[in-house]
């Protein structure tokens, strides 16, 4: 059964349960989404952060919000193991591994999304990207402007030809 972890308004799907963090909500069913302590505004923010979701200003009611969110969660890629080069050197469930997970998503993540998900200041996220990920782990981080803001993601590794 897939586990969905909500940090701020970022949702990540996992095949197995990683280490727990205080600032996250773990859900395994639509009933858990509906019964969660998420406000209507938080549910809308989560929806609007989902890849390919048409932005909303509000849901009809809590039950509709939970059902639509749960259906959208089913389309998220499931993270099993770190796949980026250098990602295997991060402890599973560590904050560094969580940031790498956000950057590995096809749609990437903005500094603001990572800051909310991690409970950090924006300058801390930028420091993690620059210091730990780029310099220490040698990951290639791509950056591009989008309508959501500047988007960051880990470049796909391509095999080098001999």
Q: What is the pLDDT of residues 93-133, one digit of tens each?
A: 678 888 888 898 888 899 998 988 888 999 999 999 999 88
- 72 pLDDT exceeds 80? yes
Q: How many domains does the chain have?
A: 2
Domain ends where: 73, 105, 132? 73
User: What's the CA gap between 95 and 133, in Å, rounded?
Assistant: 12
Q: Nearest CA to 154 among 111, 120, 106?
A: 106
Cβ atoms of 72 and 64 within 8 Å: the answer is no
140 vs 9, more confident: 140
User: What's the CA gap between 37 and 97, in Å, rounded?
Assistant: 26
- 151 pLDDT exceeds 70? yes
- Looking at the structure, do residues 118 and 59 belong to the same domain, yes or no? no
- Looking at the structure, do residues 18 and 41 belong to the same domain, yes or no? yes
- Looking at the structure, do residues 69 and 91 belong to the same domain, yes or no? no
What's the mean pLDDT in 135-149?
Answer: 88
- 86 pLDDT exceeds 60? no
Crossing angle of the two packed helices 40-49 and 62-73, in degrees rounded to 10: 30
Q: Nearest CA to 104 among 1, 9, 14?
A: 14
pTM here? 0.48
Q: Rounding to the nearest 10 degrees, give the CA dihedral for residues 31, 112, 129, 139.
A: 60
| Residue 130, in any domain of the structure | yes
- At 79 the pLDDT is 61
What's the mean pLDDT in 55-71?
Answer: 91
Mean pLDDT of the chain: 80
First to last CA, the chain: 42
- At 73 the pLDDT is 85
- At 116 the pLDDT is 86
Q: Domain residues for 67?
A: 3-73
Q: Nearest CA to 156 among 113, 121, 108?
A: 108
Cβ atoms of 47 and 53 within 8 Å: the answer is yes
Q: The CATH number of the domain where 143 resides is what?
A: 1.10.10
User: What's the CA gap between 26 and 41, in Å, rounded?
Assistant: 18
User: What's the CA gap between 75 and 67, in Å, rounded?
Assistant: 13
């Amino acid at each position: 059964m897939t586990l969905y972890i909500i940090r701020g308004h970022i949702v990540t799907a996992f095949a197995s349960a990683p280490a727990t963090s205080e600032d996250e909500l773990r859900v395994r069913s639509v009933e858990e989404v509906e019964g969660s302590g998420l406000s209507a505004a938080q549910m809308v923010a989560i929806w609007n952060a989902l890849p390919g979701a048409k932005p909303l200003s509000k849901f009809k009611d809590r039950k509709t919000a939970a059902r639509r969110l749960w259906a959208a969660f089913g389309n998220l890629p499931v993270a099993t193991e770190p796949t980026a080069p250098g990602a295997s050197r991060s402890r599973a469930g560590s904050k560094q591994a969580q940031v790498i997970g956000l950057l590995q998503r096809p749609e990437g993540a903005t500094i603001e999304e990572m800051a909310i998900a991690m409970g950090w200041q924006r300058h801390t996220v930028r420091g993690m990207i620059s210091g730990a990920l780029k310099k220490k782990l040698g990951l290639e981080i791509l950056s591009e402007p989008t309508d959501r803001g500047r988007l960051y993601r880990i470049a796909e590794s391509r095999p080098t030809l001999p």
